[in-house]
Amino acid sequence: MKRAFSVLLFFVFAACFHVRATETVRADVVVVAATPAGVAAAVAAARSGMKVVVVEESAHVGGIIAGGLTNADIGNPNAIRGPFEEYRRRIRAHYIGAYGVDSPEYRACHDGYLVEPQVAEKTFRDMLASESRITLIERQRVVGATVKDSGGAERPSERGRRIDGKMPDDFGKQTRLTAIRAENLAKPGVYTEFRADVFIDATYEGDLAAIAGASYRVGRESRDTFGEKYAGKVYTHFEEPELLPGSTGEGDGGIQAFCFRFHMTKDKSRWIPVEKPSDYDRDDYRHLVADFKAGKITRIDQVIQFYPMPGGNCEINSNHPDTKLGVPSESLDLAEENWGWPEWDAQQRQKYFKRNWNHNEGLVWFLQHDAVVPKAIRDEALLWGFPTNEFVDNDHRPHHIYVRQGRRIWGEYNFTEKDTWDDPATGLGRRHPDGIAVAEFPVDSHGVTKYDPKHPGVRDGYIFIHHQPTQIPYGVLVPKRVDGLLVPVACSTSHVGYQTIRVEPTFMAIGEAAGIAAFEAIRQRKELRAIDVKPVQKEIINRGGIILFEAGRAVDPFKK
């Protein structure tokens, strides 16, 4: 009886909440999140003739690239084209137009692969603004959804179930996403309803998919779940495939560590100092203290990575343990504490955002001031500050945390390690008849748990293993149970499988496929899971994208 009353209360509340929308916006396609994948999806759908609305929670466009990850994660540049290539062309054009083709700024952009965050955001905004069929609406947080059952009646959606481990046989009754509701963060309490034929969830966390009722998983599967060598608890050396002692393969709820990809400068004319966080705790860096006491670290770039950018700044990233030296034991990655991020609400995420930032800024402050750090390194660290020309609305600190992994939906196809590794019969990646993009980046997971001195020189979950480019099938975008929705970022993979897909150039390729597929579903008058994918594949190729890469070159499977 108590459960029945609770369910009744849920539907009464949901029904009341449903009618609070003060405005209804209609489009052919609604894209949630202006991440690089979201931008690519919106542009692709608009160029197919669709009216598109992009709903973005923040006041920024471009996701983590505009948030600081401006050193493009790409292993084989020849295997990624399409929207990422357009983005690079625009970057090159910016630096040539602003500084000239012979300028140091243009040379520093390295053919469009390196860029300043402010230029990256402007580029993504320009990509959206260049399409008259796209409307961008910022500062809108999706808080609810409406679905239609097989009988045709609409109702508020129920949240998707978290289902870890093996794929279940039954995901429940089929529903169709018909509308979403978003709160205006600039005017709390004001809601807008967005209706469309197709929705695309381009969030890093898979938030819309979960709100709409799609089942998902979080964390690491065990080695036995899908027969994956690198699943579960594992130790490896960077770029080396051998499993090390302690690799039990046990599954857990762990996701890889986050950090910030912030930018720093030595130019005192546009420089503000690093501050000691109010909650600074030296114990956060105790393993680095041990590294310094043992004399293992002699340079600052052994602790954190520096990538020179146009304009004279450097992008900063967490560093992995050197295979020979075994240091640093720790860097900017803050493992374990982020495990709940995919399912946390906005307030919980903001609390962790602050915690992770204070840890990262605190690490730089530690390098600048702690007596255990050799004076030469302290002096070098003190030269660096935050550039006043970046992140001007956030005290020159990044507005985006690097969410390397969120939810992963259960989709029509489950991409695993077995899809990633070379086919022993051909020496190539696995082929998929519905392939819509290429995964060319190494399998790259940062650490999942905190450093354990019992395993010196390595971090649990940190794997970086090269492989041949392999196809990503369309089925990973299509969630079980929920029609009318595509999920190009929080797509259907195992933990290990996700690690080759999870980079922005690849997300952009998948996003483009989602935008074209949305058009095809409307044109073919079919559900997304039932469309003929061949027109999608052909259109990707027509637009300069790549769906198959073998023997060192792009392959058009439709050419005889």
The pTM score is 0.95
Please tell me the predicted confidence (pLDDT) of residue 245: 98
Task: Dump pLDDT digits (tens) for 222-258.
Answer: 999 999 999 999 999 999 999 999 999 999 999 999 9
Lowest mean pLDDT across 80-84, 122-126, 423-427: 423-427
Question: Which H helix or E strand runs over 22?
Answer: strand 21-26
pLDDT digits (tens, 9 = 90+) for 436-486: 999 999 999 999 999 999 999 999 999 999 999 999 999 999 999 999 999
Minimal CA–CA distance to 61: which of 39, 83, 89, 45?
Answer: 39
Please say whether the beta carbons of 198 and 28 come within 8 A. Answer: yes
Residues in CB range of 225: below 8 A, 6 or more apart: 165, 166, 231, 251, 494
Region 78-90: what's the mean pLDDT? Answer: 97
Tokens representing residue 286 in the block:
């105790």
**Poorest-confidence range of 14-28, 140-154, 325-339, 351-365?**
14-28
Residue 323 has pLDDT above 70, yes or no: yes
CA distance 37 to 503: 10
On the question of pLDDT at 12 being above 70, the answer is no
- For position 426, what pLDDT does the model report? 66
Going 556 to 468 to 318 to 335, the CA torsion angle's sign is positive
Neighbours of 141 (CB within 10 A): 18
Element (DSSP H or E) covering residue 106: helix 104-108
pLDDT band at 547 (very low <50, low <70, confident <90, very high): very high
What is the CATH T-level fold of the domain 18-220+408-426+470-560, as seen in this structure? Answer: FAD/NAD(P)-binding domain (3.50.50)
Is 433 exposed, middle or buried, given 0-12, 13-18 or 19+ CB atoms closer than 10 A?
Answer: exposed
pLDDT band for position 6 (cuts 50, 70, 90): very low
The answer, yes or no, to whether the previous bond of 321 is cis (omega within 30 of 0) is: no
Q: How does pLDDT run across 372-420, given as a tens digit for each residue?
A: 999 999 999 999 999 999 999 999 999 999 999 999 999 999 999 999 9
Mind giving me the DSSP string for 415-475? B-HHHHSPPTTTSSPPP-TTEEEEE-S-EEE--SS---TTSTT--TT-EEE----EEEEGG
Position with higher pLDDT, 548 vs 17: 548
Residue 218 tokens read as 């979080």
Mean pLDDT in residue range 347-365:
98
Instruction: Count CB neighbours of 192 within 10 A.
Output: 18
CA atoms within 13 A on the CB side of 519: 22
Q: What does the pLDDT read at residue 425?
A: 66
- Please name every residue paired with 439 in a beta bridge, in sequence order, or none if there are none: 470
Structure tokens given for 306 = 């520096």
Q: Are 61 and 38 a contacting pair, CB within 8 Å?
A: no
Residue 421, pLDDT score: 84
Report how far residue 450's alpha carbon sits from residue 168's, in angstroms, rounded to the nearest whole number. 31
Instruction: Name the DSSP class of 161.
Output: P
Judge contact between 440 and 499, C-beta under 8 A: no
User: Are the C-beta atoms of residues 352 and 338 closer than 8 Å to each other?
Assistant: yes
Predicted local distance difference test score (pLDDT) of residue 139 = 98
358 phi and psi, to 5 degrees? -60, -35
Average pLDDT, integer, range 300-312: 97
Q: How confident is the model at residue 4 (pLDDT cuts 50, 70, 90)?
A: very low
pLDDT digits (tens, 9 = 90+) for 131-149: 999 999 999 999 999 999 9
Q: What percent of the chain has pLDDT over 90?
A: 94
Rounded to an integer, what distance in angstroms lies between the CA atom of residue 495 and that of residue 476?
13
Sorted by where each begins, the domain ranges of the chain are 18-220+408-426+470-560, 263-387
- Residue located via tokens 């040539």: 96
- Counting residues of the chain whose pLDDT is more than 70, the rounded percentage is 95
In Å, what is the CA distance from 505 to each residue of 39, 72, 76, 436, 511?
A: 12, 8, 11, 14, 10
Confidence of residue 7 (pLDDT cuts 50, 70, 90): very low
pLDDT of residue 15: 41
The average confidence (pLDDT) of the chain is: 95
Tally of CB atoms within 10 A around 324: 8
Average pLDDT over residues 68-78: 95
Nearest Cα neighbor of 548 from 440, 475, 443, 425 is 440
pLDDT of residue 20: 59
Distance (Å, whole) CA 378 – CA 364: 10
- 209: alpha, beta or left? (left if phi > 0; alpha if psi -120 to 50): alpha
Comparing CA positions, the residue from 58, 39, 33, 22 lying closest to residue 134 is 39
Show the tokens assigned to 272.
Answer: 């503000």
Cis peptide before 328 (omega within 30 of 0): yes
Instruction: Say what angle helices 36-47 and 117-129 make with each other, to 10 degrees.
Output: 20
Q: What is the mean pLDDT of residues 256-266?
A: 98
Q: Is the model's pLDDT at 25 over the cut of 90?
A: yes
pLDDT of residue 368: 98
| 299 burial type by CB count under 10 A (0-12 exposed, 13-18 middle, 19+ buried) | exposed
Higher pLDDT, 471 or 21: 471
3-state secondary structure at position 551? coil
